[in-house]
Amino acid sequence: MQVHQYDVVIVGAGGAGMRAAIESGQRSRTAVLTKLYPTRSHTGAAQGGMCAALANVEEDNWEWHTFDTIKGGDYLVDQDAAEVMAKEAIDAVLDLEKMGLPFNRTPEGKIDQRRFGGHTRDHGKAPVRRSCYAADRTGHMILQTLYQNCVKHEVEFYNEFYVLDLVMGERDGKRVPAGVIAYELATGELHVFQAKSIVFATGGVGKVFKTTSNAHTLTGDGMGVAWRRGIPLEDMEFFQFHPTGLAGLGILLSEAARGEGAILRNSEGERFMERYAPTIKDLAPRDIVARSMANEVREGRGCGPNKDYVLLDLTHLEPAHIDAKLPDITEFARTYLGVEPYTEPVPVYPTAHYAMGGIPTNIEAEVLADNDTVIPGLYAAGEVACVSVHGSNRLGTNSLLDINVFGKRAGIAAAEYAQTAKFVDLPDNPETFTHDLIEDLRSAEGTERIAPIRKELQETMDANVQVFRTEATLKQALKDIAQLRERYARVSVQDKGKRFNLDLLEGIELGFLLELAEVITVAAMHRKESRGGHFREDFETRDDANFMHHTMAYLDPDADTDGTQGIRLDTKPVIVTRYQPMERKY
């Protein structure tokens, strides 16, 4: 087993991890550990854009952006964090521009901007052009730009290293991180990375659902590792279902399509969003559009042989405009559904997209052990974290922004902390937990297989914890997850080897998925109201009197929440600075 020492270790090489690495790498000895080759991270799949109130094409300011983010998140947003993000958005875009990112331009050479859901002028009066973009490959451009700049700053990457544990130590009576344990895919060896500060930037957990826009690798590893080490998870019940996944597949068609003028229609050809959001229509926030679509289907106005999707109509847009602004996603419609978007509307249905919840942090990206106790030296940023700028529903283009703003903050804070901190002693044999986890799975002789358990987990999550939820569906999901966890205890892998053993790693990832799906569902069960992405048919309205708070979930062996052992739930106040909760109309 090899032991490495770095001032700062960053786990994850997506947008958040690499933005952190650019800062940290210039200030301290930094290593980035990543299970994927950096430019394969999911940030590269992001399509539509990254917002900032640059006001390049029409009047805009960061206060309007702050308000939209808070209202979009149905008032569960921590308002200090939203304000930081909206203010720092402008520099975040300019930083990327200076690093070389080829944004689309206006005729006079400024960064061009387009519309996106929920982003408005003057507190909801009309849609505003706030999203900066590079055609419909914005994330790809961000990831490539950040990677090139990491290389320039000589950041050290450990590619295809799976971090499977966080090792905690003690200093001055406080629990602090001492290092992480990583599994090297190529060799099957374990590595210990001792570090003064550690940044988690491992992305989301979309693979708990079957119909999802998320890549195969988004299995919530960072959340799972932190959870097993007693770090709480915040607001896990809030999962975003993006309105326009390709029907039956879940592959994303960016909201940029509607930003460029596409319209949703039901089987009667009606532009139904006019009924649900009369002011901004198809550009309402995602939770509202997704729910409206699902409702159209329920009420019998769905399209196709099974009446189970609606249509995204781009046929009134000029083909040249489509080619210039939306080349990739229209190609997806041709390739995967055989539909020609110039002349035919595209079948779409909501797809699981984004985890609003995650590892709780403050605005310095420091991880919290409870409602306010900072864990010195431990940071999180990006989709793995909950800061919480997105509250109960994220606005489109606010995630590419979040990863840049809070990734940068995490990188600076982690490097500055490492300048004065000392290494924390590692316990004897720090790798024991991970070693046993792997060897137990490798040597297991059980008859259960990974793929069917994962499939059944995703199916029950789609059936019971999706756009519409009730106590009965959530109970069903919990029952199914409990049975799947039992079966998981008897799982075995077919590949017993050491080199490139993806079978084994999928087994480990399934462990994270099962635990996190349970946290999501228990938290959803306890939120007996509807807010943002969480809609309870048995409690259809937002209930500020009883639920205007974040959910904090803790791993606690003694707890028994609704028959789900080991999860304790608590609450945390929402930080409200300038906008009192109001009725949310669009």
Ligand X SMILES: Cc1cc2nc3c(=O)[nH]c(=O)nc-3n(C[C@H](O)[C@H](O)[C@H](O)COP(=O)(O)OP(=O)(O)OC[C@H]3O[C@@H](n4cnc5c(N)ncnc54)[C@H](O)[C@@H]3O)c2cc1C
Binding residues for ligand X (CB under 6 A): 11-17, 33-36, 41-43, 45-50, 138-139, 162-163, 201-204, 213-214, 221-222, 252, 254, 354, 382-384, 396-400, 403
Q: Residue 46's closest CA among 312, 304, 280, 329?
A: 329
The Cα–Cα gap between 203 and 514 comes to 17
- Residue 142: partners with Cβ closer than 8 Å, 6 or more residues away: 15, 43, 46, 50, 96, 101, 400, 404
Cis upstream peptide for 388 (omega within 30°)? yes
Which of 146/555 has CB closer to ligand X? 146
For the bound state, the minimum distance from the C-beta of residue 424 to ligand X, rounded and expressed in Å, comes to 21
Is-catalytic flag, 286? yes
Helix, strand or coil for residue 136? coil
Q: How far is the CB of 106 from ligand X (least distance, A)?
A: 20
DSSP assignment of 72-115, as one string? HTTT-S-HHHHHHHHHHHHHHHHHHHHHT----B-TTSSBPEEE
The partner residues of 171 in beta bridges, in order of sequence, read 174
Q: Count other Cβ atoms within 10 Å, centred on residue 545.
A: 7
Residues 6+ apart with CB under 8 A from 350: 211, 241, 242, 243, 244, 245, 290, 293, 294, 466, 467
Alpha-carbon distance 365 to 397, whole Å? 20
Least distance (Å) between residue 447 CB and ligand X: 27
Q: How far is the CB of 269 from ligand X (least distance, A)?
A: 28
Nearer to ligand X, 13 or 89 (CB): 13
Nearer to ligand X, 42 or 65 (CB): 42
How many of the other CB atoms lie within 10 Å of CB of 216? 11
Of the two residues 360 and 396, which places its CB atom closer to ligand X in the complex?
396
Nearer to ligand X, 228 or 487 (CB): 228
In the bound state, the residue with its beta carbon closest to ligand X is 14
Q: How far is the CB of 135 from ligand X (least distance, A)?
A: 11
Tell me the closest approach of the beta carbon of residue 222 to ligand X, in angstroms. 6
Contacting residues for 110 by C-beta, under 8 A, at least 6 apart: 54, 56, 57
Q: Write down the least CB distance from residue 559 to ligand X, Å.
A: 26
Instruction: Decide whether 45 or 94 has the Cβ nearer to ligand X.
Output: 45
Q: Please, which residue, 135 or 303, has the CB nearer to ligand X?
A: 135
Q: Supply 503's token pair.
A: 């079978």
Nearer to ligand X, 247 or 384 (CB): 384
How many whole angstroms separate alpha carbon 488 and alpha carbon 396?
A: 36
Q: How far is the CB of 268 from ligand X (least distance, A)?
A: 30
Cβ closest to ligand X, residue 177 vs residue 204: 204
Distance CA 430, CA 306 (A): 54
Distance CA(116)–CA(121), nearest Å, equals 12
Minimum distance between the CB of residue 218 and ligand X, rounded to whole angstroms? 6
Cβ within 8 Å of residue 486, ≥6 positions away: none
Nearest to residue 9, comparing CAs of 378, 364, 431, 361?
378
113-121/126-132 β-pairing? antiparallel
C-alpha dihedral, 86 to 74 to 218 to 441, nearest 10°: 130
DSSP annotation string for 162-179: EEEEEEEEEETTEEEEEE
* Identity at 230, one-letter amino acid code: G
Query: Choosing from 129, 258, 286, 531, which is the catalytic residue?
Result: 286
Shortest approach of ligand X to residue 136 CB, angstroms? Answer: 8
| Under 8 Å between Cβ of 381 and 365 | yes
Spatial separation of the C-alpha atoms in residues 24 and 280, rounded to whole Å: 41
Confirm if 234 and 358 have CB atoms less than 8 A apart. yes
State the amino acid at position 17 in one-letter form. Answer: G
Distance CA 239, CA 252 (A): 16
CB of 493 to ligand X, least distance (A): 17
The residue (of 355 and 493) whose beta carbon lies closer to ligand X is 355
Other CB atoms within a 10 A radius of the CB of residue 384 amount to 29
Comparing CB distances to ligand X, the nearer of 253 and 317 is: 253
* Catalytic center residues: 286
